[in-house]
Structure 1
Amino acid sequence: MEIAAAVFYIAVILVGARFISAKGVIVLCSICTLLTVVSFFLTTKGLFETGLINCIIALSALYLTTYIILRTQVAENNAINATYQMTRIARIQSLGELTASIAHEINQPLAATTASADACRNWLMRDKPDINRAIQALERIRRETRRASEVVERIRRLSKNEITQKEICDLNDIVSDTLALSNALIEHHDIELTWNRYDAPLIVHVDKVQMMQVIGNLFLNAIEALQPRLVTERFITVKTFTMNAQACFRMTDTGVGLSEEDIKHIFDAFWTKRDGGTGLGLTLCRAIVEAHKGIISARQNSHGGAIFEIILPCKINKESNNSGA
């Protein structure tokens, strides 16, 4: 009975560790220690020396189990923190590669704002001020200023170092925001982009910033894969659709493509064919998608190039099912 009680206490701590913090585990261990000691003093039958030895063995097993659990929790927390830091490093690296695109996206609304401000001044300085056209120019200034602010907000979200925060959002909006940061880079490399956007919201429960990072990384990889191709052969096709009540994102490029060996290892950590690459980009992409209970896959494009697909749980209308596969 003494051994059975000790095993029971250990089982309680092992189960409780799944639901409580390190401080809670220590409190639970203290309670079990108290019960073990009390039971020893309340036991009147049997040899005192045997009971004392059993009590010491039970407490030792209890403390050893608690120590192992606490060390495991510390290791898990360190692993989680390391993952967050690696994800942020990859995110900052992606932003660095998108610098030209971001600058272009900000310069466009600033240039439009300057032009509209000059136009507004001219309309107001005429002998007979044209108020209506001046108001239209001011409205354009307001619209372009908001556009620049949205670009800055996207950059701010991508660069923040914060714990995952899932929210209800539209997968189409995530793709749109990512394209807004990548569009100028795509244009700079003379790539023809086609987006077949699903005509209804694809409601998903995800961390928007992390999903932008995943899709953005796929865009960067596709752009690099298209560099050896002739300008007339550079195409990226993006499609959002639903399949079996799932929200799907598919990106097809006509780049250098993937071999069977590439497909086997493309999501492995530290595996890369890119000069200067870390081999962590697609590994983190897979980790992020799987953390959202989704699937990311890669396959060859029959017309040359590669196809990447992301499938996420989706809340959609029943009539929308299987409409885009």
Structure 2
Amino acid sequence: MIHPIDAYIGLKRFFTSTIPPCRIWLQRPEDFHVIEIPKVYDVDENLYLLLKQNVDTFNAIEEIEKGLGGRWVWSGLKDSNAITVQHVSSKVDVGEWRWKRKNKCLYLKKIGKGGVKRGDLKANLFIIRLRSKCDIEGYVKETLDEMKDVPGIYSYQRFGTRRPITHVVGKMVLLGRWEEAINVLLGEPTPWESERAREVRRLYYEMGPKAYLDAPPYLNIERKVARALLKGLPPRKALLSLPQFEIFLGAFQAYIYNKALTDLKWYNRTPGYDTYDLYKEYFKEEGIEKRSLKKFKVRSFRRSPKYNAKVVLRKSAEGLFLIFTLPKGYYATTLLREIIKGDPKEFS
């Protein structure tokens, strides 16, 4: 059965027919490890390894820049609810640096000279432990054999794991409904996020952006928009002031792509103004016109609808481990979704 979150982000089906013999889950972050395989360039910068846990890449870079100054560059965005290793670079020269807040931590260590470019990496290596109360090795092998290739759908992280609304904000922007985009971002509590977050969103309907003055730090994007609104910026400028603004438009592209792919339309280019006719039925369903996509430069790019991950299984006393690599833009949770076939909270 498709979970409501799946349906909300355009995922209408599973790509395998297997049924789990018992409940399967992950304990995050310790069961989910990601190691970035970077492209390193010969430039006059300092190259670092960044180990992080329970921090997304945007917030990690913010904390590093607050603590050490300068400008820092990363290759790819890494999951917050995981233990991840990636490369970052900067003109700033420091041996190592640590940061910790409750269950969040960062460790930065210089490894030499060189630089990385945003969005430019080779792949990511995943090491993931599956937990269950029955023997699932045969079932997992059967599922992987049936799937053969990991579908190129965009997974939960692209939309917001606990509150998948980034694509809705993007849609409102493309429709020119900026105030509604703000209301979706700051309001509309969902049942999958924390009670504290839902409380702030409910207060937003009574107090407006002032509700975010005492909001928890993990609502950082909402807090930035709220502060911009309180300074007198109109909704359009408040959203455009976000460094992450392009995420909303990209999420809407991903949503349209998911809808097409789960209809088994294996297109090798993503939705955009230059592929409008290819995705026309889906754009029209959402009320989006080609001129709007062109206005915001929402252009397609090449993307393979499938990828052979060549998953290695390793069984030990600690559980069943999946080891595999995926190129940038592909998601381990897509593979986990086919295996676990349950509530995304069990694995995302």
TM-score, normalising length from structure 1? 0.24
Give the structure with the higher percent helix: 1
Higher RCO, Cα 8 Å, sep 6+: 2
TM-score, normalising length from structure 2? 0.23
Specify the structure having the higher radius of gyration (Cα).
1
